[in-house]
Structure 1
Amino acid sequence: MSILNVMWSGDSAFASVHKVHLQILAQVEPATTINTWLLQGSARGCVAKIGETREWHLSSNQLKGKRFWKLLTLWIQARFYHALNQSDVRVLLLDGLGTARALLPVLKKLPQLRAVVLFHGATRISAADRKSLSRLPASQLTLAAVSQTLANALEADLQIPVITLRSALDPLGFRSRLLSREQARARLQLPVDSTPVVGAVGRLVGKKGFACLIEAFAEALIQRPQLRLVIIGEGQARAALEAQVNQLGLRDKVLLPGNLDDAATLYRAFDWVAIPSLEEGLGLILQEAVMAGVPVLASELAVFREQLAEAGCYVATEDATAWSEALIQAFSVASVSVAAAQSTVLSPDDAWLDFSQVARRLLSCSE
């Protein structure tokens, strides 16, 4: 028997989602076979391409049944049915609501299969979604979310139980791959001296709040002229962010290196990590930074308080003045003490143990 990992897209922009699935699937019994479907995109950009990987090359319009593709929805579902019926798959790990919309109608005809739908962030749920999710019995469908905050919100909306599978990383494995401060700074072409550097990691999209961070950084430079800012990631907002950097005269102060495959090894290049997101399902960047021993400044979001409680340093979302003040203040405190307190509260070893146990239970082929 095997598990099928179904991803919405193989695009590198979904790297954080890929990483979560990779961590979950690493917990299954060694004898279990795992294969992957990519509904969109290529396996080339997907770190969660586990086992035999099938690329379906479907567009968003095809998957969502938009325009004339609505007429071919049953044809696409028939292809899914045939592929599943010919396999020994018993458990499917589905990446979010979009993937569930495409696959759950098929599962009604395959009662021997069980699906786990993993929600990575807030999503718009329609009446049709509620109906679809309620049609399958609890023995065949499990809903899970990457944080307690997200699980509570989904449960209130759907009126269906949602399990919390708070994503976590193996602390020993993660730390073993970290570069030293000098190595990480050299990789990013930063000064290897004591120059203060703020780091950020994430897709370059509006909801990540990087425009606010750049504005705040420009204000902070008035009092902290030695500061540097590095934002690792790629996305549709790149042109706008580059224009903002140029307009503020920050080309020598702000680095936008794009997607870096080794981004998770570079945290020690930073003195602080900023997470100015407007919303997050969990925010693995927070966990990675804390495990690297780097203190975090984060938006005032419930999901961040869930992880860091009173040890967190929180800033109002989309408030450039507040972020500027927070950046200035950050370099006036003992950052080592802040990082240690955040690590104690996050408790990465315990979080990893809890995550591993829940993941194994959810994906057990014997359930």
Structure 2
Amino acid sequence: MSRHFRVLQLQPDYNVKDYDCADLAEQIIKALPTDRYEVTATFLRGRPGPTEPVSRAAKSAYFELSNSALKGLRLRAMWQLYKFCRREKFDVVICNRFKPVNMMLQLNRWLKIPLCIGISHGFGEYDRLYRRKQVQCWLDEHWHFIGVSPAVTQYLLNLKCGFTYQNTHTIKNAIDIKQSVGLQHSRKRARELLGINPTVRLIGALGRLVPVKGHTYLVQAFAALKDQYPTAQLAIIGTGREKSHLITQIQDLGLAGRVQLLGFKENALQYVQAFNIWAIPSLSEGSCLALLEGMSGRLPVIASSVPAMLPLIQSAGGLAVNPANVSELTMALDAYLALSDEALARKGEQAYRCLQAQHDIMVFRKEYLELIDSKLAQACGKYV
């Protein structure tokens, strides 16, 4: 009879949502059968308020560390995490993003947890020489790594600091399509909730208002077409430090009333169908969940041709543009805005079929379970 294996899923911040269709940490928990695995979800920063959701894991733990405690040597944070892991005697630890990976790489020299998995969500985490040296020093047979797209996996392999074809794998980000579609309001209702004119052609974008998301180039491209398509509008869901810059840009380009910054929206996925066209003008992405969310709403997509997104854009029949290239972005917007509603809808259906074929959540769960089952069996010298 198989035993229960104890799993720690370690995340930097509390970020559990009411709906987990795009919460991949929660989807990993769903992948692990409760008759074999007991998962503890642990968050280094933050904790839920009285009315906020908690993880579906069997247990949750909140370290409530300050930002300063997670900088530099992080000695107090490391000691707390070490004591916690030593007490709980985990068989598996799943580390989301760089900081948890880095901490557990150090600590597992003493803890000797049989299977450690580090998930990389983007590029640049190991660009600094000292970080690559740390990996070379601390990485051992207990560790396996996952890139959330083939491009992220290749980034890790190219570093040549211990990431190999034997210990580094790709499990592509996915979305629970059925749950996602069920959350979405109709176009009419979504526009009512957002305060958008029901008759306009609406270009949509979703993401933090930070330079790497490239929203400034999207605004410039739209400005070049504002007279050619007087019934078109642009709306961006998200907030961030670029907001004041974008407001000034909108005013300077004469786009007041044509471009709306909608701010942060809880469960923004519910508004996807408000849009006619979905645009992701990012300068860099690891694996863009916002792109998948737009495709779940059956929207035609325009996105930057960064390595993590280019194969998906091409498969979805979307339009790929070079990052920060306003001219190409303008031409892509023009190509879609010139289409009839019926032709746009067909493009959106093509994107949705691609999502079903390549980013199904059941495949995501199956691949995580198979990886953990097989590597834990090897690590423990027996079958799970």
- Give the TM-score taking structure 1 as reference length: 0.88
> Which one of the candidate residues 343, 355, 361 is aligned to 2:370?
361
Residue type of the partner of 1:136?
L
Q: Does structure 2 conserve the Cα–Cα contact (< 8 Å) formed by 1:22 and 1:47? A: no
Note if 1:160 corresponds to 2:156.
Answer: no
Note if 1:274 corresponds to 2:279.
Answer: yes
Q: Does structure 1 conserve the Cα–Cα contact (< 8 Å) formed by 2:184 and 2:273? A: yes
> Which one of the candidate residues 238, 242, 246 is aligned to 2:247?
242
Counterparts in 2 of 1:141-152, with a 5 A limit? Answer: 141-152=143-154
| Displacement of 1:49 | 4.0
Question: Kindly tell me: are residues 46 and 299 of structure 1, through their superposed partners in 2, closer, same or farther at Cα, counting changes over 3 Å?
Answer: farther
Instruction: State the match for 2:381 in structure 1.
Output: none
Question: Kindly tell me: are residues 226 and 349 of structure 1, through their superposed partners in 2, closer, same or farther at Cα, counting changes over 3 Å?
Answer: same
Q: Does structure 1 conserve the Cα–Cα contact (< 8 Å) formed by 2:174 and 2:359? A: no
Q: Does structure 1 conserve the Cα–Cα contact (< 8 Å) formed by 2:94 and 2:119? A: yes
Residue type of the partner of 1:154?
L
> Which one of the candidate residues 312, 321, 329 is aligned to 1:315?
321
Q: Does structure 1 conserve the Cα–Cα contact (< 8 Å) formed by 2:175 and 2:359? A: no
Question: Kindly tell me: are residues 320 and 112 of structure 1, through their superposed partners in 2, closer, same or farther at Cα, counting changes over 3 Å?
Answer: closer
RMSD: 2.7
Instruction: State the match for 1:93 in structure 2.
Output: 94
Instruction: State the match for 1:54 in structure 2.
Output: 61
Encode CA deviations 1:105-160: one digit per residue, 9 max, x unaligned: 1111111342211111112413443343343323x211101101110111111341
Q: How many residues align?
A: 358
Question: Kindly tell me: are residues 16 and 303 of structure 1, through their superposed partners in 2, closer, same or farther at Cα, counting changes over 3 Å?
Answer: farther
Note if 1:137 corresponds to 2:140.
Answer: yes
| Displacement of 1:58 | 2.9
Note if 1:201 corresponds to 2:206.
Answer: yes
Question: Kindly tell me: are residues 136 and 300 of structure 1, through their superposed partners in 2, closer, same or farther at Cα, counting changes over 3 Å?
Answer: closer
| Displacement of 1:17 | 12
Instruction: State the match for 1:330 in structure 2.
Output: 336
- Give the TM-score taking structure 2 as reference length: 0.85
Task: Output the CA distance in 1 between the equivalents of 2:52 and 2:67.
Answer: 18
Task: Output the CA distance in 1 between the equivalents of 2:300 and 2:329.
Answer: 15
Task: Output the CA distance in 2 between the equivalents of 1:82 and 1:168.
Answer: 34
Residue type of the partner of 2:46?
G
Task: Output the CA distance in 2 between the equivalents of 1:363 and 1:297.
Answer: 36
SS at match of 1:92: strand
SS at match of 1:335: helix
> Which one of the candidate residues 186, 191, 207 is aligned to 1:180?
186
Counterparts in 2 of 1:17-166, with a 5 A limit? Answer: 19-31=23-35, 32-44=37-49, 49-51=55-57, 52-65=59-72, 70=73, 73-125=74-126, 126-134=128-136, 135-138=138-141, 140-157=142-159, 158-161=161-164, 162-166=168-172
Task: Output the CA distance in 1 between the equivalents of 2:321 and 2:139.
Answer: 42
Residue type of the partner of 1:260?
K
Question: Kindly tell me: are residues 47 and 294 of structure 1, through their superposed partners in 2, closer, same or farther at Cα, counting changes over 3 Å?
Answer: farther
> Which one of the candidate residues 275, 287, 295 is aligned to 2:292?
287
Question: Kindly tell me: are residues 167 and 107 of structure 1, through their superposed partners in 2, closer, same or farther at Cα, counting changes over 3 Å?
Answer: same
Instruction: Tell me whether 145-154 or 86-95 shows the greater mean CA deviation.
Output: 86-95
Question: Kindly tell me: are residues 188 and 363 of structure 1, through their superposed partners in 2, closer, same or farther at Cα, counting changes over 3 Å?
Answer: farther
| Displacement of 1:37 | 2.1
Question: Kindly tell me: are residues 322 and 203 of structure 1, through their superposed partners in 2, closer, same or farther at Cα, counting changes over 3 Å?
Answer: same
Identity %: 23
Q: Does structure 1 conserve the Cα–Cα contact (< 8 Å) formed by 2:297 and 2:352? A: no
Residue type of the partner of 1:6?
L
Q: Does structure 2 conserve the Cα–Cα contact (< 8 Å) formed by 1:2 and 1:88? A: yes
Q: Does structure 1 conserve the Cα–Cα contact (< 8 Å) formed by 2:121 and 2:286? A: yes
| Displacement of 1:12 | 9.0
Task: Output the CA distance in 2 between the equivalents of 1:62 and 1:111.
Answer: 24
Question: Kindly tell me: are residues 341 and 221 of structure 1, through their superposed partners in 2, closer, same or farther at Cα, counting changes over 3 Å?
Answer: same
Encode CA deviations 1:18-70: one digit per residue, 9 max, x unaligned: 822222222111333322222223445997744443332334443231xxxx4
Task: Output the CA distance in 2 between the equivalents of 1:269 and 1:105.
Answer: 47
Question: Kindly tell me: are residues 349 and 18 of structure 1, through their superposed partners in 2, closer, same or farther at Cα, counting changes over 3 Å?
Answer: closer
Instruction: State the match for 2:266 in structure 1.
Output: 261
> Which one of the candidate residues 351, 372, 376 is aligned to 1:342?
351
SS at match of 1:166: coil
What are structure 2's unaligned runs of at least 5 residues?
378-384
Task: Output the CA distance in 2 between the equivalents of 1:288 and 1:91.
Answer: 30
Task: Output the CA distance in 1 between the equivalents of 2:68 and 2:279.
Answer: 35
> Which one of the candidate residues 10, 13, 34 is aligned to 2:14?
10
